């Protein structure tokens, strides 16, 4: 059975992606499969003009949305407030994204934290920046981090991961550690609004060995989810547009 990304991941309303190992790929994959999708951010985001139909740089995103024309090919539409430098845009305040979602009849896909191109992370005190009206949050980790040392070469904020997962910096990252972080209120569940759907994504499941690791991560995440917030875990290789499996809580 083939499972499409838009069938496995949240696609309605305001969807925020957090974590590391595939946030931008997730945003762009969904944006190009959904009707009238908006891509935006509450944090810095690399220039993404090549991944959407058009990017509008505007301090008035609701007005830009009202002026967008589906028939003219304006969707998926990127909306950002400012270009900070040659390689990245800034993000909107969370309240602005809530207003944008209220004005839109399609999905709003949001990058809600940063990871500096690493495979795994835990959030700082100032993140994630999740709007109060988020309908769904997708915490992400890469299967490729398992077996790697807990250093900043592969992990963003390894000291935070160490504290959340209860392992030491420099120690080998295990599937159990990744699962614990994904399901932790100080990790993948941090600042998720009450009632929001939570779908964890284990990305970069490129082969059979990765799939074994990803299933171990999912099992550990469900075991660590004491609050019962995880609705499901998706195993995928979104760089290939492929979902491997969907595991229910």
What does DSSP say about strands 108-111 and 136-142: parallel, antiparallel, or unpaired? unpaired
Q: What class does CATH assign to 5-248? A: alpha beta
The tens digit of pLDDT for each residue in 36-68 reads: 999 999 999 999 999 999 999 999 999 999 999
Report pLDDT for 55.
98
- Per-residue pLDDT, 101: 98
pTM for this model (two decimals): 0.97
The residue among 170, 187, 189, 171 whose CA lies nearest residue 227 is 189
Residue found under tokens 């979602």: 101
Question: What's residue 8's pLDDT?
Answer: 98
Q: How far is CA 167 from CA 16, 138, 141, 142, 158, in A?
A: 28, 24, 17, 18, 10
DSSP of the chain: --B-HHHHS--SSEEEEEESSSHHHHHHHHHTTSTT-EEEESS-EE--GGGSSEEEE-S-HHHHHHH--TTTT--SEEEES-EEETTEE----HHHHHHHHHT-SS-EEEE-S--TT-SEE---TT-----TT-SEEEEEEEGGGTTSBSSTTTEESHHHHHHHHT--TTSBPPHHHHHHHHT-TTTTTTTPPTT-EEEEEEE---SHHHHHHHHHHHHHHHHH-TT----EEEEEEGGGTEEEEEEE-
Q: What does the pLDDT look like over 183-228, one tens digit per residue? A: 999 999 999 999 999 999 999 999 999 999 999 999 999 999 999 9
Per the CB < 8 A criterion, the answer to whether 52 and 78 are in contact is yes
Q: Are strands 88-89 and 45-46 parallel, antiparallel or unpaired?
A: antiparallel
- Residue, of 201 and 1, whose pLDDT is higher: 201
pLDDT over 80 at 1, yes or no: no
Phi, psi of 37, deg, nearest 5? -80, 145
Q: What is the average pLDDT value for the chain, to the nearest integer?
A: 97
- Residue 71's pLDDT is 82
What's residue 45's pLDDT?
98
Q: How confident is the model at residue 72 (pLDDT cuts 50, 70, 90)?
A: confident
Nearest of 9, 45, 2, 46 to residue 29 by alpha carbon: 9
Query: Domain extents for the chain?
Result: 5-248
First to last CA, the chain: 20
Residue-wise pLDDT tens digits, 107-116: 999 999 999 8
């Amino acid at each position: 059975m083939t499972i499409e990304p838009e069938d496995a991941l949240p696609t309605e309303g305001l969807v925020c992606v957090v974590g590391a190992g595939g946030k931008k790929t997730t945003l762009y994959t969904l944006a190009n499969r959904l009707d009238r999708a908006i891509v935006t951010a509450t944090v810095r985001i690399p220039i993404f003009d090549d991944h959407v139909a058009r990017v509008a740089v505007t301090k008035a995103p609701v007005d830009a949305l009202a002026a967008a024309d589906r028939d003219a090919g304006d969707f998926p539409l990127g909306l950002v407030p400012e270009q900070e430098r040659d390689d990245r845009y800034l993000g909107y305040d969370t309240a602005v994204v809530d207003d944008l979602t209220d004005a839109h009849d399609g999905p709003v896909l949001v990058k809600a934290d940063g990871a500096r191109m690493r495979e795994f992370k835990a959030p700082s005190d100032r993140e994630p920046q999740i709007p109060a009206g988020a309908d769904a949050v997708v915490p992400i980790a890469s299967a490729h981090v398992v077996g790697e040392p807990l250093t900043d070469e592969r992990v963003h904020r390894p000291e935070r991961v160490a504290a959340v997962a209860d392992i030491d910096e420099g120690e080998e990252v295990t599937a159990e550690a990744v699962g614990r972080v994904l399901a932790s209120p100080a990790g993948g569940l941090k600042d998720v609004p009450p009632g929001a759907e939570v779908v964890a994504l284990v990305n970069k499941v490129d082969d059979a060995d990765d799939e074994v690791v990803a299933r171990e991560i999912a099992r550990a995440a469900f075991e660590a989810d004491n609050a019962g917030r995880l609705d499901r875990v998706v195993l995928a290789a979104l760089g290939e547009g492929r979902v491997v499996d969907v595991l229910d809580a």
